[in-house]
Amino acid sequence: MSNETFVFTQVRDDGVATISINRPESKNALNMATREQLAEHFRAATGDARVRAIVLTGGDTCFVAGADIREFVAASPIEMYLRHTENLWDAVARCPKPIVAAVNGFALGGGCELAMHCDIIVAGETARCGQLEVKLGLMPGAGGTQRLVRAVGKFQAMRIALTGCMVRAPEALAIGMISEVVSDDRTLTRAHELAAEIAALPALAVAQIKEVMLLGAELPLDGALALERKAFQLLFDSKDQREGAVAFLEKRKPNFTGQ
């Protein structure tokens, strides 16, 4: 296992943590070391009270071009099973704080799946997304078949996964695969703007919105609506709810404390 560092975190004063993948010689391909470091950084951000929102980036030229094929080209099924990479992905999927992906260049295979683990995806205008696994005789294995169909629907998801095509950013926006398209040089800036905007809002309300949206999507409508009601009612015990209401009536900017 490599001792190199491929993932870095910087926490800004506005409560935004930027988690950066830096493995440019491999277009940020996800080897095991990178996956493990990503999980460590997301767990740390989850437990850091300073962090209220997260930006995930691969840099100016490439988000993540996929998994590192060299690490599984000769692997057996048991070897793949024993890696238990699902535990590493869970550190991202179960992070309760909002995650904004800043996607430039390629977000392919595992990189596309990583972006779909996030809550908002900002892409540069020349970015390309896709699930190319079928061209390797494989299929998406980190949520690509399930998160993609939930994001864009059966017919677009089938087209993308079955052909292994690359989807350009404007089309990805049109079909609901990403949130926004900006010029390539604005991708990270725009992701930070969104994250900072969220970080400045009441943390308890933000956390409940994310949790209820993700959990509710897996429930029948009646159950999801009940979950929503309970979370809505719970927030009436928060100081930020009272501050927000009073500030609105007094026509002033609210002072949210996260309580």
Catalytic site residue from 29, 39, 65, 67: 67
Give dist(CA 169, CA 179) in Å, integer: 10
- Residue 228 is among the residues annotated as catalytic for this protein: no
Which uninterrupted H or E stretch holds 103? Answer: strand 99-103
Q: Name the amino acid, one letter, at 195.
A: A
Q: Using DSSP, state whether 121 is helix, strand or coil.
A: strand
Q: CA-CA distances (angstroms) from residue 171 to 128, 135, 259?
A: 9, 21, 40
Of the listed 105, 109, 110, 143, which one is catalytic?
Answer: 110
In 3-state terms, what secondary structure has residue 95? coil
Give 38-71 as a DSSP string.
Answer: HHHHHHHHHH-TT-SEEEEE--SS-SB--B-GGG
Residue 109 annotated as catalytic: no
Q: Which residue reads 């100081």 in tokens?
A: 239
Residue 226 tokens, joined = 């009940």
* Catalytic position from the list 45, 133, 172, 195: 133
Strand partners, 67: 30
Of 91, 107, 113, 205, the active-site residue reads 113
The catalytic residue positions are 67, 110, 113, 133
